[in-house]
Every structure is written in structure tokens, then in C-alpha cells.
Amino acid sequence: MDTLLLARLQFATTASIHFLFVIVTLGLVTLLVGLQTAGYLTGKAKYERLTRFWGTLYVINYVLGIATGIVMEFQFGLNWSGLSRYVGNVFGAPLAIETLVAFFLESTFLGMWIFGWHRLRRGVHLALIWGVALTAYASAFWIMVANAWLQNPVGYEVRDGVAHLTDFSALLTNPALGIALGHVVSAALLTGGLLMAAVSAGHLLRRTPDFDLFRTSLRLGVVTAAVGILLVQGFGFTQFAPVSQVQPTKFGSSPDGEALIAEWTARFGPGDYTPPVLANVGLGFMILIGMGLSLFWLLLPLLWRDRIIRLRFPLWLVICALPLPFVAAILGWIAREIGRQPWVAYGLLPTEQAVSPVGPGVLLASSVTFTLLLGALAVANWTLLARHAVRGAADPALGRPPQQTRPPATEEPAFA
């Protein structure tokens, strides 16, 4: 068994599963901000009920997403000690900032938001969900800063065989960062909007009592998904130029790429420095899905006079389209990550030099364990999401007034 292949498969599996949690979290929290802000400004009770309902789904996904992130983080020390040793001084800086500044603040704000219903003033409670959203975006920003450095190492120098950070501002102005961050955020908006639209469509097809609530969330979800797919396509196609400049080997043969491969051959020795075909295959299918989801723009006119609900068929289309953003997200991750192979840090650290010196048996055992654990968390997440989504927005536990959580005073305890 090839230890390098096992380590790469393990990281690919766990990272892709975790990424699915991330895009749902970013998408839903943005929609929650809109719903609770609308409720604060209008005073309409339906927005509070929708915030409680979608907030429940958000909290479920957030909690289990944290668990998947913790599991994934163990791999850097277990499987990729070469990465930590050689570029940890640079790569670890944005990850540390993400953990200390963004993640801890986000968790604190979210905890106060969850338990602050009917205990804090409405304005303070609204500010908390805004804090959750802003820190969630900050977390995504610092993660992408770290990833962009692996795609295009900048602002460093190598001393005594170890990379050291010399220019922190170079991390923030990395050409591999800005447009890629916009692409990820847009994908999250698309996913969150489509999830909201699909769940709402299911309730409207079943003619549940909360018609007005899910009519509102359907419209919000469809509009968000339509805007999201437009932004996804814009940021996606705009990426080709800067990516080709910093990674000239990524999209096939080019004069710059051939010159760079010759330089690497002289420096690192003979080898295959072209990325696997799988990267371009993933990119192609991702683009096809993105173009297919453009049909969401055709649903916007159907929102007029609720034609989208009366025709019913568009609701089924929305439900059937739900898996597509998740598939596209994994394909996009494949295109971005596999497209820089055979490098962990492009042109700086070969992947084979980053893997830990452990035996294939240990890596196989950890791969099976991590995959099963992440898979179980993913199944648990979607099971809980589906269960709470089907229940509807009648009376979610999140935000329930305190007096409703206790049994009526007339009830007497029964004794045997």
C-alpha cells in the first residue's frame, strides 16, 4: 500500500465532507440575518417563527460541522508532519488567527444568541446574529488565506530548511485569494438559498398549515439561489486569468508552464509535474452544473402571483436540484486542490515530502477510522436536518418562551 496515496485519500474524504458543512453554515447564517432583521424592522411574528425554524437547522449543522472540523484538523499532525515542519510558520499563522479571533468569537456569539431569546433586548439579540455572521465570514476569510498561500506561496523566505513569514500583508493581497473567496461565498449563498427553497417547496407540496411562512421562505430562497448562481459564475470564470498566472501548469500545456516544469526538473529532479486529469474533469462537470442551475433565473417570474406554487412542477424541480450545489462544491474542491499537484505548497514543497513517516498499516487504520467517523457525522447531520425540517415551523424548540418549556402547574407528578 502506498502511504502517500492513503494520506491523500484520507484528507480528500474528510476535507470534502467538512466543506459541505461549511457552505451550509455560511449560506444559512446569511439568510438568518435577513429574516431576523426583517422581523426587527417590521414587527411581524412570521419572521420570528421563520428565524426560529431555520435557526434550528443552522444550529444542528453548525454543531456537527465543528465536530467534523476538529476531526479533520488532527490530520495535519498525524499525516502531514512534513507540511507542519517546513511551512508551519507561514501556513499556521492564518489558521491560528481563524481559531482565536474568528471561531471563538463566532461560538460565543452563537451561544448567546441561542440562549438569549426572551432574555435580551431585541436589538441586542439581533446584533448577536449579525456577530455570528460576520465572524463566520471572517473564519472563511482566514481559511482561504491559508489555502491561497498553498496555491501561491508569497511573503516568505527559507532559512535553515524552514519557511519563515516575512511579509504578512503579502498573504492578504495574494492573487490566489480574492476571487477564490468570492467564489466560495457565492457557492454558500447558492447552497443556503436552494436548501431553503427546497425545504419550503416540500411543505408547500404537502399543503402544511404554515402556507404563509413557507411561501415567504420559498421566495427568499429562490431569489438568493438565483443571485448566488450569478455570482458563482462571475467569480468562477473570472478566476481563470489570475490562476493561470500563478499556476501556469494547472489548465494544461503553456509556454510559461513548460518553462516552470523545466525549472522544477532542474531543482527537484525528473518527475511528472503536470496535474492529474481528474482536476480538469472535476472542473468541467462543475461548470456544467453551474450552467444548469442558471435555470433558477427562469423561476423568478413565476414568483409573481404565486405561479411557482400553483404550477407545482417548479417546486419539484427545486427539490430535485438540491444535491447539485453540494456535488459542484466537491468538484470545485477537486479542481482547486488536485490541480496544484504534485505540490502541497505550489512549487515549494512536493506532496511526497509533506507526508508523515508512518507505516501503511497505521495510515490505513486512521483512514478507515476517520472516514467512518466523518461519514457518521454527515449522516447524523442530514438525518437531524431532515427530521426537524419535516416537523415544520409550528413551534421549534429554539426561541420557545421559557414558560412553554415547563409543564403546566396543574399537572401533578405520578408516583407508583
Going from N- to C-terminal start, the domains of the chain cover: 3-399
- Are 264 and 273 in contact, with CB atoms under 8 Å apart? yes
The model's pLDDT over 286-309, given as tens digits with 9 standing for 90+, comes to 999 999 999 889 999 999 988 999
Using DSSP's 3-state secondary structure scheme, residue 349 falls into strand
> Residue 410 pLDDT > 80, yes or no?
no
Write down the pLDDT at residue 411: 41
For residue 83, name the pLDDT band (cuts at 50, 70, 90): confident
Q: Are strands 349-350 and 156-159 parallel, antiparallel or unpaired?
A: unpaired
Q: What pLDDT digit, counting tens, does each position of 144-164 carry?
A: 999 999 999 999 999 988 999
The residues facing 164 across adjacent strands are 157
Cβ-contact 323, 23 below 8 angstroms: no
pLDDT tens for 328-367 read 999 998 888 888 889 999 999 999 988 888 888 888 888 8
**163 DSSP β-pair partners:** 158
Categorize the per-residue pLDDT at 25 as very low, low, confident or very high, splitting at 50, 70 and 90: very high
Please state the φ and ψ torsions of residue 164, each to the nearest 5 degrees.
-125, 140
As a whole number, mean pLDDT of residues 167-176 equals: 93
pLDDT tier, 413 (very low <50, low <70, confident <90, very high otherwise):
very low
Q: How far apart are CA 399 and CA 49, in angstroms?
A: 9
Overall residue count recorded for the chain in this entry: 416
Helices 81-97 and 45-78, interaxial angle, to 10°? 150
Q: How many other CB atoms sit within 10 Å of the CB of residue 134?
A: 16
Q: What is the pLDDT of residues 208-249, one digit of tens each?
A: 888 889 999 999 999 999 999 999 999 999 998 889 899 998
Q: Tell me if the bond preceding 396 is cis, omega within 30° of 0.
A: no
What is the pTM for the complete model shown? 0.91
Do 253 and 302 contact (CB within 8 A), yes or no? no
Task: Show the 3-state SS of 226-237.
Answer: HHHHHHHHHHHH
